[in-house]
Amino acid sequence: MWPMRMASKSESLPDGKGMAPAILNGLSDQIPVGFFLAGSDGELAYVNRWLDESIRTEREAGAGQASSLAHQISEAVKRYAPADKPLSTSITGPRDTNFSLRIFPLRDPADMTLKVFGLVEDVSSKIHSDSKLERKVGELSILCELGKVLTSALKLDEVLGIVLTAVTAGQGLGFNRAFLLLVDQSGSALEGRMALGPSNAEEARRIWDSLSAKDQSLEEVLRSYRSALKKQDAQINLTVRQLRIPLSQQANPLVRCMLEKRAFVVTREQAEPEHDLFRMLQTDTFAVAPLISESKMLGVVVADNLITGKLIEEEDVKLLFICAHHASIAIEKSGLYQELEEKVGRLAEANRRIAEGSRRLLRVERLSILGQITSQLAHELRNPMTVIGGFARSLLRKADANQADEEYLKIMVKETEKMENVLNNVLDFSKPDSAKREMVSLIDLVEQTLEMMEPEMDSAKISVSVFADAKLPPVRVNPDLVRHALLNIFRNAVWAMPNGGMLSIGARAETNTLRLEVKDTGFGICSEHVDKVFDPFFTTNSEACGLGLTIAAHIIRTHGGSIQVQSGQGTGSTFFIKLPLAERPEEKEPPAHKQES
Amino acid sequence: MAINQTRWASPGERKPSNPSGSPTILVVDDEQHLLKLYEKELSEEGYLVRTATDGEEALRMAQSESPDLVILDIKLQNRDGLEVLGELRKISQKVPIILNSAYSTYKSDFQSWLADAYLVKSPNLDKLKEKIRTLLDLKKSG
């Protein structure tokens, strides 16, 4: 600016040559810049009106001699004039006024003595706006750092913790305390979620001392928010969780904040009816900013300066508002993340089920291979077993009752009987499911099986009752196989009731399925065995081979059904059997059949 | 699972019995030890027991010995027992044949229906003995 003025002045000189001294005097009186002429000893020879007035105003305001503008100008001239070079410096006047001072040494053409021409400008307002700019830069950097940290936060609690830290950290917004309230799941009330801040002045001092000692950047503070939360949040978090404000209370400042989508300061005087809120927060003044996404109200962030009592300024509220805006985005994002996590969870569950399904298939396949092998093995064993057992019987018939041999022969006979029993069961098990399926009533099969077992039941003192719907729809099964399955299940029940008891059989139709329940009052199955009762060769009965229930389950499953058992030791067992109901007659291939291929 | 119906209602040709008068039973099985067991057990029941270890021998003996009853295994070394069953039936419609196998699966094979009975092998020969008695009685009365 300076050289420009020089240039314009020199250009206008030819016209100004004849300019009356009065005009120049007027100019020097009106220009809002001070200028002076002084000797090199600092003695002011001339001051224009602006400078004169400034000096006078200052004197009237009672500024001390040392800090007065005139004195400081004189001192500067005295110090810098001998250098004989133009120079700029600044002067701080009383009451935060700031001046810039430029001095230009001149040689008096008359006696060549050193004189000084000076310009004085009030720059107080410029400095003020510079500091404002600085503050804005500071705020922007806070928001930038907050944004950076929030970007990487995915969990809601993490987001909330970071926001609270940013609001309270000295490097951040610098509030004493901050509270977060979120709209609950049903969308009917604001609920206190999390808070950060000391509960009293002493605690505050301790925390702030330790924080300032660390000399961290805001980003570092935010990243370590967890440790900050752990140390400070106990009491204040209990308080905040008690807060619950129905959204219907539209006069409540927190609800209003969300509805109006703006941040503001609330004082006790303004909001007297809400004294509860002030009582719970134990504060008289607080700032509140809304957490809102595009479509919905998420909650509010409340901040106050309870400990220091520092006034909450408009700038603080603005910053809180912007901070809350950042937080809203992060909270919404965390919601999406949570949804995503849930979806991932559901997929993992589906995956687990598929894996389980394929394991089950593998088991079926293994069982079928096992079936083939055992079938082969059983036939190979049957001949030698027949020979050994047969000769043992033959010898036993002629043996002398008193000889030890007789006992040994008896053992041989008994053991081969057991062996035969195993082989019979293995063969039944590995028998291919005959394609001969018929439409039958399951309850008829139950009754036929029970009829067959009547002598067994009678001698074991077991009473039998059958409950069934009068008109049960038919099932499409191989009756021989299903009778065999029922026989094995009923035999298991008989064995479980050595001292007699009750066998109840219930049947009812459900959509597409027929449910059969077989309940005994026997000694039950202990919990660690429940899962194993259908496993091949598992038994607690020394007389049995452990295939009865395996075969029963196999038969039920090859018919597209399922079997489960529920039991408690001493309380009896209940077998739950499901069989698919027969398809309508026009459908030639029932799905149950297809599954097996 | 015995097939109880009488297949031959009308009296057919009757081959001379052995001199002792006790019925002759032909046992066909490739297991020597099993043959030994049957031989012992059935002769103790008063039958005259003849044994064959393969299908050809069985067919030969069926003609030369004219047994009153045949006990036939299905798995034979060089011939399928069910085939032998068919051949035996051609020789005589009248002689009762009991299929005796380690397998129960052949019960559903229609070829096995040509036999008069189907018994799964067991160390307990009581059922077999009973079946022999029944079939021989039936044959006598038939």
| End-to-end CA separation in angstroms for chain B | 21
Tell me how far the alpha carbon of residue A582 is from its chain's centroid.
Answer: 48
Categorize the per-residue pLDDT at A591 as very low, low, confident or very high, splitting at 50, 70 and 90: very low
Picking from B29, B30, B32, B37 by the largest number of A CB atoms within 10 A of its own CB, the best residue to mutate is B37
Is residue A299 left, alpha or beta, with left meaning phi > 0 and alpha meaning psi from -120 to 50? left
Q: Under an 8 A CB cutoff, do B37 and A385 touch?
A: no
Asked if pLDDT for residue A515 goes beyond 90, the answer is yes
Amino acid A115: pLDDT: 86
Amino acid A521: pLDDT: 93
Cα distance between residue A122 and residue A91, in whole Å? 9
Residues in chain B closer than 8 A to A413 (CB atoms): 123
Taking the CA of residue B124 and the nearest CA in chain A, the distance in Å comes to 6
Amino acid B130: pLDDT: 94
Residues in chain B closer than 8 A to A394 (CB atoms): 37, 40-41, 44
Asked if pLDDT for residue A490 goes beyond 70, the answer is yes
In chain B, how many H helices and how many E strands? 4, 5
Cα distance between residue B13 and residue A468, in whole Å? 58
A550 touches chain B (CB under 8 A): no
Residues in chain B closer than 8 A to A390 (CB atoms): 34, 37, 41, 123-125
Question: Nearest by CB to B123, which of A390, A424, A434?
Answer: A390
Categorize the per-residue pLDDT at A588 as very low, low, confident or very high, splitting at 50, 70 and 90: very low
Residues in chain B closer than 8 A to A393 (CB atoms): 123-125
Q: Under an 8 A CB cutoff, do A383 and B31 touch?
A: yes
Taking the CA of residue B37 and the nearest CA in chain A, the distance in Å comes to 6
CA-wise closest residue to A519 among A545, A497, A544: A497
Mean pLDDT of chain A: 80
Q: Under an 8 A CB cutoff, do A388 and B105 touch?
A: no
A414 touches chain B (CB under 8 A): no
Please state the rounded mean pLDDT for residues A101-124.
85
Question: Nearest by CB to A383, which of B102, B124, B125?
Answer: B102
Say which residue, A429 or B125, is predicted with more confidence.
B125
Asked if pLDDT for residue A432 goes beyond 60, the answer is no
Amino acid B3: pLDDT: 39
A411 touches chain B (CB under 8 A): no
Amino acid A590: pLDDT: 41
Cα distance between residue A90 and residue A97, in whole Å? 11
Range from A103-107, A237-241, B60-64, B121-125 carrying the lowest mean pLDDT: A237-241
Range from A23-27, A558-562, B23-27 carrying the lowest mean pLDDT: A23-27
What is the SS3 assignment for A558? helix
Please state the rounded mean pLDDT for residues B65-89.
88
Amino acid A502: pLDDT: 93
Picking from B38, B105, B106, B126 by the largest number of A CB atoms within 10 A of its own CB, the best residue to mutate is B105
In A219-283, beta strands by DSSP E: 244-246, 264-267
Amino acid A231: pLDDT: 52
A499 pairs with which residues across the strands?
none
Please state the rounded mean pLDDT for residues A69-75.
86
With beta carbons less than 8 A apart as the criterion, state whether B29 and B35 touch: yes
Question: Nearest by CB to A394, which of B33, B34, B40?
Answer: B40
On the CB side of A361, CA atoms within 13 Å amount to 9
Amino acid, single-letter form, for residue A63: A
Please state the rounded mean pLDDT for residues B69-91.
88
Picking from A383, A421, A478 by the largest number of B CB atoms within 10 A of its own CB, the best residue to mutate is A383
Amino acid A274: pLDDT: 66
* Sign of the torsion angle spanned by Cα atoms B34, B40, B41, B46: positive
Asked if pLDDT for residue B17 goes beyond 90, the answer is no
DSSP A392-424: HHHHHHHS-TTSHHHHHHHHHHHHHHHHHHHHH
Cα distance between residue A323 and residue A483, in whole Å? 75
Q: Under an 8 A CB cutoff, do B37 and A391 touch?
A: yes
Cα distance between residue B110 and residue B82, in whole Å? 10
Question: Nearest by CB to A379, which of B31, B103, B125?
Answer: B103
Residues 6 or more apart whose CB falls under 8 angstroms from that of A578 comprise A513, A514, A515, A516, A561, A562, A563
Please state the rounded mean pLDDT for residues B19-33.
88
Range from A321-330, A344-353, A374-383, B37-46 carrying the lowest mean pLDDT: A374-383
Asked if pLDDT for residue A195 goes beyond 50, the answer is yes
Going across the sheet that includes A264-267, the strands are A244-246, A189-196, A177-183, A297-304, A285-292, A264-267
With beta carbons less than 8 A apart as the criterion, state whether B25 and B64 touch: no
Taking the CA of residue B120 and the nearest CA in chain A, the distance in Å comes to 9
What is the SS3 assignment for A157? helix
Q: What percent of chain A has pLDDT over 90?
A: 14
Residues 6 or more apart whose CB falls under 8 angstroms from that of A127 comprise A98
Range from A112-121, A168-177, B14-23 carrying the lowest mean pLDDT: B14-23
Residues 6 or more apart whose CB falls under 8 angstroms from that of A286 comprise A265, A266, A302, A303, A304, A312
Amino acid B38: pLDDT: 94
Q: What angle do CA A333, A336, A339 make, to 5 degrees?
A: 155
Please state the rounded mean pLDDT for residues A469-488.
86
Categorize the per-residue pLDDT at A136 as very low, low, confident or very high, splitting at 50, 70 and 90: confident
Amino acid A207: pLDDT: 66
Please state the rounded mean pLDDT for residues A265-279.
77
For residue range A288-345, list pLDDT tens digits in order. 999 988 778 899 999 998 888 888 888 889 889 988 988 888 888 888 888 888 899 9
For residue range B95-105, list pLDDT tens digits in order. 999 999 887 77
For residue range A162-177, list pLDDT tens digits in order. 888 888 877 778 888 8
Question: Nearest by CB to A394, which of B31, B41, B120?
Answer: B41
With beta carbons less than 8 A apart as the criterion, state whether A581 and A514 touch: yes
Amino acid A535: pLDDT: 78
* CB-count exposure of residue A553 (10 Å: 0-12, 13-18, 19+): buried
Residues in chain B closer than 8 A to A387 (CB atoms): 31, 33-34, 36-37, 123
Please state the rounded mean pLDDT for residues A131-144.
81
* CB-count exposure of residue A171 (10 Å: 0-12, 13-18, 19+): buried
Cα distance between residue A27 and residue A23, in whole Å? 6
Taking the CA of residue B35 and the nearest CA in chain A, the distance in Å comes to 9
Please state the rounded mean pLDDT for residues A377-398.
88
Amino acid A8: pLDDT: 38
Amino acid A507: pLDDT: 92
Asked if pLDDT for residue A56 goes beyond 80, the answer is yes
Taking the CA of residue A410 and the nearest CA in chain B, the distance in Å comes to 13
Please state the rounded mean pLDDT for residues A4-19.
43
Residues 6 or more apart whose CB falls under 8 angstroms from that of A124 comprise A96, A97, A98, A99
Say which residue, B26 or A471, is predicted with more confidence.
B26
Asked if pLDDT for residue B55 goes beyond 70, the answer is yes
Taking the CA of residue B113 and the nearest CA in chain A, the distance in Å comes to 18
Asked if pLDDT for residue B16 goes beyond 50, the answer is no
Asked if pLDDT for residue B11 goes beyond 70, the answer is no
A530 pairs with which residues across the strands?
none
Mean pLDDT of chain B: 82
Which two structure tokens, joined as six digits, stand for A87? 């120079």
Asked if pLDDT for residue A540 goes beyond 60, the answer is yes
For residue range A87-98, list pLDDT tens digits in order. 888 888 777 788
DSSP A424-491: HHHHHHHS---S--EEE-HHHHHHHHHHHTHHHHHHTTEEEEEEE-SSPPPEEE-HHHHHHHHHHHHH
Range from A59-73, A483-497, B49-63, B68-82 carrying the lowest mean pLDDT: A59-73
Amino acid A63: pLDDT: 64
In this structure, CATH architecture of domain B24-141: 3-Layer(aba) Sandwich (3.40)
B106 pairs with which residues across the strands?
none
Amino acid A11: pLDDT: 42
Please state the rounded mean pLDDT for residues A437-464.
88
Amino acid A139: pLDDT: 78
For residue range A218-255, list pLDDT tens digits in order. 777 777 665 555 555 567 778 888 888 898 988 888 89
Q: Under an 8 A CB cutoff, do B102 and A394 touch?
A: no
Q: Under an 8 A CB cutoff, do B124 and A379 touch?
A: no
Q: Under an 8 A CB cutoff, do A389 and B105 touch?
A: no
Taking the CA of residue A549 and the nearest CA in chain B, the distance in Å comes to 21
A59 pairs with which residues across the strands?
none
Which two structure tokens, joined as six digits, stand for A71? 């004195």
Please state the rounded mean pLDDT for residues A146-159.
81
Question: Nearest by CB to A383, which of B41, B44, B121?
Answer: B121
**Domains identified in chain A and CATH numbers:** 2-122 (3.30.450.20), 138-339 (3.30.450.40), 434-596 (3.30.565.10)
Amino acid B72: pLDDT: 94
With beta carbons less than 8 A apart as the criterion, state whether B50 and B25 touch: yes
Domain coordinates of chain B in residue numbers? Answer: 24-141
With beta carbons less than 8 A apart as the criterion, state whether A177 and A306 touch: yes
Amino acid B4: pLDDT: 38
Residues 6 or more apart whose CB falls under 8 angstroms from that of B32 comprise B53
Asked if pLDDT for residue A1 goes beyond 70, the answer is no
Cα distance between residue A183 and residue A297, in whole Å? 7
Residues in chain B closer than 8 A to A432 (CB atoms): 105
Range from A49-53, A96-100, B120-124 carrying the lowest mean pLDDT: A96-100
